[in-house]
């Protein structure tokens, strides 16, 4: 199973970027990172950790309700060059970023008797010493993501009660090509790459599975202040080239690579990401957007359970997926094996959708939301119990809470994910190398329906995203939708490969906010993307450690097996670009 595999440790770049063109482009970037690291810290990095961003093809805002999603890693990524440092502070960190916007930061964890955050984000008193790192949740700071990655490994791998295990001081240099606030999950990529960097330098990688890394990073990212689901971390860690991942979270994390039909169909098709250029700051807007949706879906789950005649204890806080499983009468234990097959899941989703109407208030004014008082009453809890269970751990704000619309989106989107997966699997199973265009049309219809649901029911779109997805369809996309949290950020469109250039030119010409862009900025705003490989650690080969003079010239090297034998590429200099080995 994909989630059970170990974290890959590579010694050459072509193991990471298997197509030569991408590898060649990336080599220059990696080499620059190595050189900059040496300039700043006086030594070569011991490792380079890579974590890609992701594009979610379908399944928006349902990961924290624990329903399956369908993302793929993109080629844009975060790279962190890292190595041990001579910092005298215990576990002290110096973090630099090649982007001058993000200034140099130094920090060190401290041991103190403190309140430890529990897995649920609630505070639980602890008498023992624990590691502490200050993370500012109110302000968006780049190093918060580095700290989040570090925090997660401190108490787990360096128990304060074991004085012989202490974190080593670390130097980091970060470079990223995932635009921030764009819905391509730069934040998860930062947290995953940071976690890997601290694990690698502290020699704690061995035995760790991809699934364990995802679970750690889901917790790590919550430390920055967003109660996110696990989609981004799972996609960044587990993805493989050419495939999307069908990721499920309940009863335990599982990821199934699903080959995309896009490289085999006639016409062939690709996914195009287009940035609306509306920056959506998840942390700052959390209380009226992301975190509010988390609370609305959780309270919606409780009220639905009661309306479906299920019994719930006053301290139980199930998700919509858990309520769904109980309603189907399936015995499922968190962390246990999955007992719900895809067919039962699909049939169940179709059956539960009409039941969601039970969450709709019957009011003359058409208001589908509930005031706080009404919501507390509907939950069957006292105001104190309600506050403790749903509000004490999160800051949210709304005049009306939309339980009905949010639950309707979640169940219908979960069904669309299964339908999307089916189309892809059907295409993959066909022995015919030419698939009908209707395959792409079916995928496009599902993407468009997802956009409508995100806009109308989940209210996570915005006028620019609505406009951009509409323009994309008019420019010939089979389907187009927002990707990621929404309220700004990127769209993803499915476009025939032979029409991509025309499609991109058309959008550049008609989407208003692109009119002031040129050069790289315009190129970075709209681009076709291929599903790429997941997170990994690059470790210079043994030879490079034993023979420093070799390392001098061959900063990043890789070998490509051609018909006439292996060809070694390196990026030490132009002259070294290609040498037959
Ligand atoms: P973005 O903001 O695109 O990284 C967020 C959440 C996901 C998921 C999507 C909506 C984080 C780190 N990620 O993605 O878990 O809920 O929104 O589908 O908050």
Neighbours of 232 (CB within 10 A): 31
How high does pLDDT run on average in the chain? 88
**Percent of the chain whose predicted confidence (pLDDT) is above 70:** 89
Q: Do 569 and 577 form a contact (C-beta atoms < 8 A)? A: yes
Q: Where are the beta strands (DSSP E) in 224-278?
A: 243-248, 254-259, 269-275
Which ligand 1 atom is the nearest neighbour of the CA of 56? 18
C-alpha 558 to ligand 1 mean position (Å): 34
Is the pLDDT at 243 greater than 50, yes or no? yes
Is any atom of ligand 1 closer than 6 Å to the C-beta of 275? Answer: no
Q: How far is the C-alpha of 486 from the C-alpha of 450, rounded, in Å?
A: 12
Poorest-pLDDT segment among 236-240, 459-463, 516-520: 516-520
Question: Is 432 a residue of the active site?
Answer: no
What pLDDT was estimated at residue 553? 34
Neighbours of 438 (CB within 10 A): 11
Which ligand 1 atom is the nearest neighbour of the CA of 186? 4
Q: Do 579 and 573 form a contact (C-beta atoms < 8 A)? A: no
What pLDDT was estimated at residue 374? 97
Residue 427's H or E segment, with its range, is helix 403-429
Is any atom of ligand 1 closer than 6 Å to the C-beta of 226? Answer: yes
Is any atom of ligand 1 closer than 6 Å to the C-beta of 151? Answer: no
Q: Do 111 and 129 form a contact (C-beta atoms < 8 A)? A: yes
Is any atom of ligand 1 closer than 6 Å to the C-beta of 223? Answer: no
Query: Which candidate, 207, 230, 201, places its Cα nearest to that of 218?
Result: 230
> Is the Cα torsion angle 334, 304, 346, 295 positive or negative in sign?
negative
Q: Which position among 232, 341, 395, 524 bears the catalytic label?
A: 232
Q: Give the residue whose CA is nearest to atom 2 of ligand 1.
A: 485
C-alpha 202: how far from its chain's center? 25
Is the pLDDT at 440 greater than 90, yes or no? yes
Tokens of 175: 């470079």
Is the pLDDT at 55 greater than 70, yes or no? yes
pTM as predicted: 0.86
Cα dihedral 324, 329, 334, 337, rounded to 10, equals -110
Work out the pLDDT band at 117, boundaries 50, 70, 90. low
Is any atom of ligand 1 closer than 6 Å to the C-beta of 278? Answer: no
Query: What's the average model confidence in pLDDT over 348-361?
Result: 97
C-alpha 485 to ligand 1 mean position (Å): 5
Work out the pLDDT band at 524, boundaries 50, 70, 90. confident
C-alpha 231 to ligand 1 mean position (Å): 7
Q: Give the residue whose CA is nearest to atom 6 of ligand 1.
A: 228
Based on C-alpha coordinates, what's the Rg of the chain? 24
458 vs 572, which has greater pLDDT? 458
* Among 152, 460, 484, residue to substitute to test ligand 1 (most atoms within 8 Å of Cβ): 484
182 vs 5, which has greater pLDDT? 5
Burial class (CB within 10 angstroms; exposed 0-12, middle 13-18, buried 19+) of 565: exposed
Tell me the pLDDT tens digit for each residue of 273-290: 999 999 887 777 889 999
Is any atom of ligand 1 closer than 6 Å to the C-beta of 183? Answer: yes
Tokens of 482: 């927002």
- The answer for residues whose C-beta is within 8 angstroms of residue 490's C-beta and 6 or more apart is 55, 182, 183, 184, 273, 274, 275, 276, 482, 483, 484
How do strand 479-482 and strand 565-570 relate by DSSP bridges? Answer: unpaired
Q: Do 243 and 260 form a contact (C-beta atoms < 8 A)? A: yes
Q: How far is the C-alpha of 387 from the C-alpha of 493, rounded, in Å?
A: 41
Give how far Cα 487 sits from Cα of 147, 363, 465, 511, Å: 26, 28, 8, 17
Tell me the pLDDT tens digit for each residue of 65-92: 999 999 999 999 999 999 999 998 999 9
Which ligand 1 atom is the nearest neighbour of the CA of 228? 19
Query: Which candidate, 71, 39, 113, 106, places its Cα nearest to that of 229?
Result: 71
Q: How far is the C-alpha of 534 from the C-alpha of 51, rounded, in Å?
A: 7
What pLDDT was estimated at residue 22? 80
How do strand 9-10 and strand 536-538 relate by DSSP bridges? Answer: parallel
What residue spans define the domains of the chain? 2-112+131-259+534-538
Work out the pLDDT band at 567, boundaries 50, 70, 90. very low
Is any atom of ligand 1 closer than 6 Å to the C-beta of 60? Answer: yes
* Among 65, 282, 319, residue to substitute to test ligand 1 (most atoms within 8 Å of Cβ): 282
Tell me the pLDDT tens digit for each residue of 187-226: 999 999 999 999 999 999 999 999 999 999 998 888 887 7
Is any atom of ligand 1 closer than 6 Å to the C-beta of 484? Answer: yes
Tokens of 576: 């070294």
Tell me the pLDDT tens digit for each residue of 125-182: 556 788 999 988 777 789 999 999 999 899 899 998 888 889 999 999 999 999 887 7
What pLDDT was estimated at residue 122? 52
Neighbours of 429 (CB within 10 A): 8
DSSP string, 198-213: HHHHTT--TT-BHHHH
Return the CATH number of the domain spanning residue range 2-112+131-259+534-538: 3.30.230.10
570 vs 345, which has greater pLDDT? 345
C-alpha 57 to ligand 1 mean position (Å): 13
3-class state of residue 417 by DSSP = helix
């Amino acid at each position: 199973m994909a989630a059970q595999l170990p974290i890959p440790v590579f010694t050459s770049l072509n193991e990471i970027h298997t197509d030569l063109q991408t590898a060649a482009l990336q080599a220059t970037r990696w080499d620059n990172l190595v050189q900059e690291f040496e300039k700043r810290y006086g030594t070569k990095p011991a490792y380079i950790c890579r974590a890609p961003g992701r594009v979610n093809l379908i399944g928006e805002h349902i990961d924290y309700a624990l329903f399956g999603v369908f993302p793929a890693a993109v080629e844009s990524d975060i790279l962190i060059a890292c190595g041990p440092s001579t910092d005298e502070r215990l576990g002290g960190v110096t973090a630099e970023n090649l982007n001058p916007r993000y200034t140099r930061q130094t920090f060190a964890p401290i041991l103190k008797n403190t309140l430890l955050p529990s897995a649920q984000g609630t505070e639980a008193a602890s008498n023992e010493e624990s590691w502490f790192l200050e993370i500012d949740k109110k302000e968006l700071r780049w190093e918060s993501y580095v700290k989040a990655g570090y925090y997660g490994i401190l108490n787990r791998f360096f128990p304060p009660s074991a004085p012989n295990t202490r974190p080593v001081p670390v130097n980091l240099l970060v470079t990223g090509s995932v635009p921030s606030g764009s819905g391509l999950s730069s934040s998860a990529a930062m947290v995953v790459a940071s976690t890997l960097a601290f694990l690698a330098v502290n020699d704690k990688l061995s035995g760790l599975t991809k699934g364990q890394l995802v679970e750690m990073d889901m917790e790590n990212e919550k430390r920055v202040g967003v109660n996110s689901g696990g989609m981004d971390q799972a996609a960044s860690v587990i993805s493989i080239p050419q495939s999307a991942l069908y990721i499920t979270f309940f009863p335990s994390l599982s990821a199934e690579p699903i080959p995309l039909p896009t490289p085999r169909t006639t016409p062939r098709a690709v996914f195009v990401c287009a940035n609306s250029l509306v920056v959506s700051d998840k942390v700052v807007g959390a209380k009226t957007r992301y975190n509010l949706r988390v609370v609305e879906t959780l309270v919606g789950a409780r009220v639905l359970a009661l309306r479906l005649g299920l019994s719930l204890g006053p301290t139980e806080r199930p998700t919509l997926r858990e309520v769904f499983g109980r309603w189907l009468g399936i015995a499922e234990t968190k962390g246990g094996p999955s007992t719900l097959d895809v067919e039962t899941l699909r049939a169940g989703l179709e059956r539960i959708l009409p039941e969601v109407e039970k969450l709709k208030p019957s009011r003359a004014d058409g208001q589908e939301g509930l005031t706080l008082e009404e919501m507390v009453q509907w939950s069957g809890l006292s105001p104190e119990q309600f506050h403790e269970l749903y509000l004490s751990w999160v800051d949210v704000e709304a005049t009306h809470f939309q339980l009905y619309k949010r639950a309707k989106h979640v169940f219908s989107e979960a069904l669309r994910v299964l339908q999307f997966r089916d189309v892809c699997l059907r295409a993959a199973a066909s022995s015919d190398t030419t698939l009908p265009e209707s395959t792409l049309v079916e995928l496009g219809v599902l993407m468009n329906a997802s956009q409508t649901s995100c806009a109308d029911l989940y209210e996570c779109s915005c006028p620019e995203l609505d406009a951009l997805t509409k323009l994309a369809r008019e420019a010939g996309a089979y389907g187009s939708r927002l990707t990621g949290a929404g309220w700004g950020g990127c769209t993803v469109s499915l476009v025939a490969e032979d029409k991509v250039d025309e499609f991109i030119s058309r959008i550049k010409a008609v989407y208003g906010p692109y009119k002031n862009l040129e050069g790289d900025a315009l190129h970075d705003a709209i681009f076709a993307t291929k599903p790429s490989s997941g997170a990994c650690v690059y470790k210079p080969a043994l030879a490079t450690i034993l023979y420093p003079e070799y390392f001098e010239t061959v900063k990043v090297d890789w070998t490509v097996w051609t018909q006439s034998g292996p060809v070694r590429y390196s990026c030490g200099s132009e002259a070294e670009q290609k040498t037959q080995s």
